[in-house]
Amino acid sequence: MNKNTYETVKLNKGEMHVYDFGAVKLHAYQTNDPIDDEVFLVEKAGRAAVIESPCFRDNIAELTAYLKDRALEPAGMLVAYHGAGASFLPGVPRYATENAVDYSARGGGRALIDGFAAAFGDAFDPTIHAADHILSEGRVTVGGIDFGLQAWALIFGI
pLDDT of residue 85: 96
Give the span between the Cα atoms of 20 and 37, in whole angstroms. 22
Residue 104, number of CB atoms within 10 A of its CB: 26
Q: Between the CA of residue 108 and those of 45, 81, 144, 151, 153, what are the distances in Å? A: 37, 9, 32, 20, 17
Q: Between the CA of residue 130 and those of 111, 141, 142, what are the distances in Å? A: 17, 19, 17
Give the span between the Cα atoms of 37 and 14, in whole angstroms. 10
Cβ atoms of 54 and 116 closer than 8 Å: no
Which tens digit of pLDDT belongs to each residue from 73-95?
999 999 988 899 999 999 999 99
Residues 6 or more apart whose CB falls under 8 angstroms from that of 123 comprise: 56, 57, 58
Which tens digit of pLDDT belongs to each residue from 19-30?
999 999 999 999
- pLDDT averaged over every residue in the chain: 91
